[in-house]
Structure 1
Amino acid sequence: MEIYPITSLIILLTAIFAYLNVRWIKLPTTIGIIVLALFSSLLIVLAGYLLPVFSVEARKLVANISFEQVLIKIMLGFLLFAGALHIDANKLKKEIWPVIILSTIGTFISTFLVSVMAYYLFQAFQLHVPYIYCLLFGSLISPTDPIAVIGILKRVGIPKSLELKIAGESLFNDGVGVVIFLTILEIATSGMSKFSMADTAVLFLREAGGGILFGGIIGYLAYFLIKSIDNYSVEVLITLTIVMCGYTLADDLHLSGPLAVIIAGIIIGTKGKHDAFSEVTRDYLLKFWDMLDEIFNAVLFLLMGLEMLAIKIDPVVMIIGFIMIFLVLLARYLCVLLPVSILRIWIKFEKNAVAMLTWGGVRGGLSVAMALSLPENMHRDEFVLITYIIVIFSVIVQGLTIGKLARNSN
């Protein structure tokens, strides 16, 4: 099937599921859509026993959608930029150390802890997965993506400082997580015999540091262009150009596209809102990006639900996946607890910051996309199934209960 009919069908399903959710189910939009998509996938699997052709065709359709390409190459830049627009750099400065430490050191700690636990868990089930591949799994499952619960957090009225910590960390550790994953993937592909700590450090710094620098350049370029005119349609077009061309160019230059658009979004969102946007532009631009963010998130969660049709099911690996849910949460708790305990010496944290940051660290589509991008010889099928189980639990269970935890914390 060609790309336009596939895209049309995806939008149709997203609209139908979103309507059903708003009309009757009344869950947060993204969670409601993924629940309906999962239910539909289950019905298709069951229908396959009566009408095998129907199930086969549905699986072929899903298999034709390159989820990892759609998310990493197309959607991710838009989603990160839309989130970054709402981050005020002046307020972020007050939370900068928790955000930086949690999104960098916290992500490294989580990657290491998860990889070690996964390695020994595989050994316990007589599955011999090399440690370097477990390290890849640790890197892809560590980035958090609390986009699905940010709306809930706002409604229950958690402290703005904590909300900023969660949002800021999720944005930056998405970018950092992708860089860590690509760095480890490069080592795994080239072989440990060619591994060099110095070369790895240079590769990481080039990707991360170069992405931040490049994002600053394009962010300020967009800011000065926007400041020189007063036409909301052109100003929206400039931000679209920054995201699409900036993300693509960063990728071509082997820099971190996610970090580039995050920095550009923060610059435009902060400086633009203060002294470049007119009231009309601010209203149109923010509403445009909020709407784009909602649509892309809805489509993303639909695809995540339908992706179940393309995943190879293995009972042993499923058991490992259910165990890994708790091990990943344990790793998340430790990688939050350790930095926060040290930072409390200088910085004041909210009463239940560790619990909120742990449970609010929802895994999302980025983890699934990175797992799907692995070569088959790196135990992709096993890691995809395990990642999928963790993400579904994270989005539905953590996403639906974070509001209650937030209310109890107040």
Structure 2
Amino acid sequence: MTGIEPLLADLAVQSGQQGATIQEILLDLLPIALIAAGVGVFVAKVGKFPYTIALLLAGIGVSIIRFATGQFGIEIALSHDLILLVLLPPLLFEGAATTDLERLRRNLAPILALAAVGLVTSVAVVGFVGNWAFSLVGTDFTILLALLFAAMALPTDPVSVLALFKELGAPDRLSVLVEGESLVNDGVGVVIFTAFLGFVASETAPSELFSASGLGSLAVEILVVSGGGLLVGLVAGYAVYSVMINLDEHMTEIVLTLILTYGSFLLAEHYLHVSGVIATVVAGLFIGNRGTEYAMSPQTKISVFNALETMAFLVNTFIFLMIGVTTPIDQVADNAELIVVAIVLVLLARAVAVYPITAVVNRFIDPAIPRKYQHVMWWGGLHGSIPIALVLGLPPTLESGAAFPLREELRAMVFGVAAFSLVVQGLTMSNLMDRLDIVTRSDAEELYELLIGRRRAVEEALDAAERLKRRGDLPREVYEDFTGEYEREQEDLQEAIAALLSSNPELRRERLLVGERQVLQQEKSALMDAIRAGVITDDVGDRLLNEVNLKLEQVRNGETTVERDEEGYAEFWRSQAQEFGLDVEAEGDRRAMMD
């Protein structure tokens, strides 16, 4: 109910149906559901065709039919508020919650460089070059209008990127780089757009913007709005986490998660006037990482993430289809030359942002970002729902009452860039990754997931059989037959997993580091509980916590503290015990001496 009611209310307002009943609104939604179902059946039959892009193409088809015949109109219209307030928060939250915070931390430098410096650079390129290039096709674009267009069109869209990369199964690091940039740079992009829109609406002279005070105030505003969104996300995420850690009721925790999804965005955007996008992303990262480790039971994790995934799927279905349906075909056709110039400039600006900045960042990080990843980051910078939301937010008039300059042209250009980005770039992404020999998911990784999934199912079946036997619901003879069969399969699965890891050392190392990080986090939590309970003094606890933190840092840098044949990390308690006269030589060292 939390996500549906505001959606229906906004749809009613946007459809001009101030007195519309729920029944009328649902009747308007029915054609969308039928088209989406038809697209889903088509994609299931065809196979490897991105569902979101198929939805977009179907929506554009509807828009073309409506333009050509005047029939088959869908009354619901996308709006700035509908996208930003209703549709975007659950997509941002779900994308952030399913992002591994450790991988994001390891790639934070290139993500922030591209999301902030890269976006500002690309906006400047399109603004200054576009001021000249757009005039070549007979349109009088001022420098401020060109910058405004750049601020709308250039933010890479997390909705589009997350949807496409999930369907393609992109490598983890590449996914984190592209998705992380998309999740972060929208907050910066909205701030830049707001600033430029204010300059255009007030008919400010460009010289005022490019003065030292104008640029300084813009930089301060970006920092304040972005930092404020970060703080709101942390506070809101921690508040919900504090409730969830003392609660074990998965349905209530789903409601709390939905409250956090919309609440963090609304609190930041409409009450504190800071970045709602960044607030929602930070809240999602907090709950999706710390929350799942410490505040959610296994049942709660499954329920919460299933709810988020379902909501994200429904919203994605609606938004991609409606972007296609609301594409102004007549305006796009009338401004085709402008749109072609805009597409070329956007691709050029994206290249200027990606390649030089990545080259600089590569000097300071290890491992460096491969060139083939950079090609995907350039071509994979998709522009979709965020640019559409921003251009739909352009006012019809300036503050003076005059008509907003080139409003229809700007709308057509942004829709044209978004359509090219999602259709052409989106459809060719898989081929590009194949040509660059970027393995999406190896056969070994897929087999490992299959074996692990089946082993968990078998273990749960054995636990269920044990519970049924204790309650007397399962006769002993049936229980023995059942457990005998499943225990044999469990042994076979364990042997298969061991053989797979043995023959794939890279996979084994990756799983070892992931497991080690999770175990060390539990160690840290246990030590903190022991300090709070007074089991150990603060002095001893601090030394033990410091040691666990050192191990965690080692694991984060890709170095394991667990070795098969020797002690991978010499804990300080061993030296302390030996000084006291105790024989605590590590098992690995004893085996080495015996050999």
Fold match by TM threshold 0.5: yes
1:100 offset after TM fit, Å? 0.7
Residue 399 of structure 1, CA deviation: 1.1
Q: What is the rounded CA distance, in whole Å, between the counterparts of 2:287 and 2:332 in structure 1? A: 47
Quick check: 1:103 aligned with 2:122? no
Aligned equivalent of 1:114, options 122, 126, 149: 126
Partner AA of 2:52 in structure 1: T
Give the % identical residues: 28
Question: Counterpart amino acid of 2:312?
Answer: D
The equivalent residue for 2:50 is: 28
Distance 2:167 2:92 in 1: 22
The aligned counterpart of 1:132 is: 144
Structure 2 partner of 1:188: 200
The answer to whether structure 1 residue 81 and structure 2 residue 111 are counterparts is no
Deviation at 1:156, TM superposition (A): 4.9
Compared with structure 1, are the counterparts of its residues 306 and 153 closer, same or farther at alpha carbon in structure 2 (3 Å cutoff)?
A: closer
Matched with 2:175 is 163
Q: Secondary structure at the match of 1:70?
A: helix
1:367 corresponds in structure 2 to: 387
Deviation of the 1:242 alpha carbon: 1.4
User: Which residue in 1 is equivalent to 2:501?
Assistant: none
Which of 379, 388, 406 aligns to 1:379? It is: 406
The one-letter code matched in structure 1 to 2:182 is S
Q: Residue 377 of structure 2 aligns to which amino acid in structure 1?
A: L
Which residue identity lines up with residue 190 of structure 1 in the other structure? Answer: S
SS at match of 1:363: coil
Gaps of 5+ in 2: 1-16, 397-403, 439-595
* Offset of residue 224 of structure 1: 1.3
* Mapped partners of 2:255, 2:424: distance in 1: 38
Asked if 1:213 corresponds to 2:240, the answer is no
Cα offset for 1:222?
Answer: 1.3
Matched, 1:44 2:66: yes
C-alpha distance in 1 between matches for 2:371 and 2:222: 35
The match for 1:329 is 347
Shift of 1:381: 0.7
- More divergent stretch after superposition (388-397 vs 4-13): 4-13
Q: Do 2:93 and 2:283's aligned partners in 1 also have CA atoms closer than 8 Å?
A: yes
For the 8 Å contact 2:153–2:383, the answer to whether it is kept is yes
1:299 is aligned, of 306, 313, 318, to 318
**8 Å CA contact retained: 1:80, 1:262:** yes
Given the superposition, is the C-alpha separation of residues 37 and 115 from structure 1 closer, same or farther in structure 2, using an over 3 Å criterion?
same
Query: Which residue number corresponds to residue 522 of structure 2?
Result: none
Give the corresponding residue for 2:80.
68
Map 1:222-261; keep pairs closer than 5 Å. Answer: 222-251=240-269, 252-261=271-280
Indicate whether 1:177 and 2:189 are aligned: yes
Number of residue-to-residue matches in the alignment:
399
2:360 alignment partner in structure 1: 342
For structure 1, the residue ranges without an aligned partner over 5 or more in a row are 49-53
Q: Give the TM-score taking structure 2 as reference length.
A: 0.64
**1:4 Cα deviation after fit:** 3.7
Distance in 1 separating the partners of 2:177 and 2:332: 38
TM-score by length of 1: 0.91
Q: Deviations for 1:117-165, whole angstroms, at most 9, x for unmatched residues?
A: 3211221123212211111110111111254454554565543111110
Question: Aligned letter for 1:79?
Answer: L
Query: Rg: which structure is higher?
Result: 2
Opposite residue 378 of structure 2, the aligned amino acid is T
Q: Residue 17 in 1 paired to residue 35 in 2?
A: yes
1:94 Cα offset (Å): 0.4
Matching residue within 426, 443, 447 for 1:399: 426
Contact 1:14 1:298 in 2 (8 A): no
* Partner SS, residue 331 of structure 2: coil
* AA of the residue aligned to 1:261: T
Answer whether contact 1:17 1:36 (CA < 8 A) is retained.
Answer: yes
User: Given residue 269 of structure 1, which amino acid in structure 2 is its aligned partner?
Assistant: G
Superposed displacement of residue 274, structure 1: 1.4
User: In structure 1, what is the equivalent of residue 305 of structure 2?
Assistant: 286
The one-letter amino acid of 1:308's match is T
**CA distance 1:147–1:246, change in 2 (3 Å):** closer
SS at match of 2:370: coil
Q: Is the 8 A contact 2:134 2:341 kept in 1?
A: no
Higher helix share: 1
Structure 1 residues 143 and 6: alpha-carbon distance in aligned structure 2, compared to 1, 3 A threshold: farther
Aligned mates of 1:386, 1:6 — CA distance in 2: 33
Per-residue displacement from partner, 1:354-397 (whole Å, max 9, x unpaired)? 11101111111110111121123142211110111111111111
1:154 and 1:299 map into 2 onto residues whose CA distance is 18
Question: In 2, distance between residues paired with 1:236 and 1:109?
Answer: 40
Native 8 Å contact 2:57 2:324 kept in 1: yes
Paired residues of 1:18 and 1:32 also in contact (CA < 8 A): no
For structure 1, which segment, 384-393 or 171-180, has the greater mean C-alpha deviation from structure 2 after superposition?
171-180
1:98–1:323 CA distance, 2 compared to 1 (3 A) = same
Mapped partners of 1:314, 1:152: distance in 2: 25
Query: Take 2:315 and 2:168, find their aligned partners in 1: how far apart are those partners?
Result: 24
Cross-structure match for 2:378: 358
SS for the counterpart of 1:313 is helix
Contact 2:161 2:179 survives alignment (8 Å)? no
| Cα distance, 1:185–1:148 mapped onto 2, change above 3 Å | closer
Cα deviation, 1:72-97, whole Å, max 9, x if unaligned, reads 12211221111111112222110001
The CA distance in 2 between the partners of 1:188 and 1:3, in whole Å, is 39
**Quick one: structure 1 residues 288 and 127, their matched pair in 2 at CA, closer, same or farther if it must change by over 3 Å?**
same
1-side partners of 2:202 and 2:151: how far apart?
Answer: 18
Tell me, what secondary structure is at the counterpart of 1:108? helix
Q: Distance in 1 between matches of 2:293 and 2:336?
A: 50
Q: Distance in 2 between matches of 1:87 and 1:326?
A: 32
Q: In the TM superposition, what whole-angstrom CA distance separates every residue of 1:299-324 from its partner, at most 9, and x where no partner exists?
A: 11121111125x65265522110222
Residues in 2 aligned to 1:14 and 1:337: alpha-carbon distance in whole angstroms: 40
Q: Is the 8 A contact 2:339 2:416 kept in 1?
A: yes
| Structure 1 residues 91-119: Cα deviation after superposition (integer angstroms, max 9, x where no partner) | 21100011111111111111111112321
Pairwise CA distance, 1:199: 3.0
CA contact 2:376–2:432 (8 Å) conserved in 1 = yes
Q: Please give the root-mean-square deviation of Cα atoms over the aligned residues, in Å.
A: 2.1
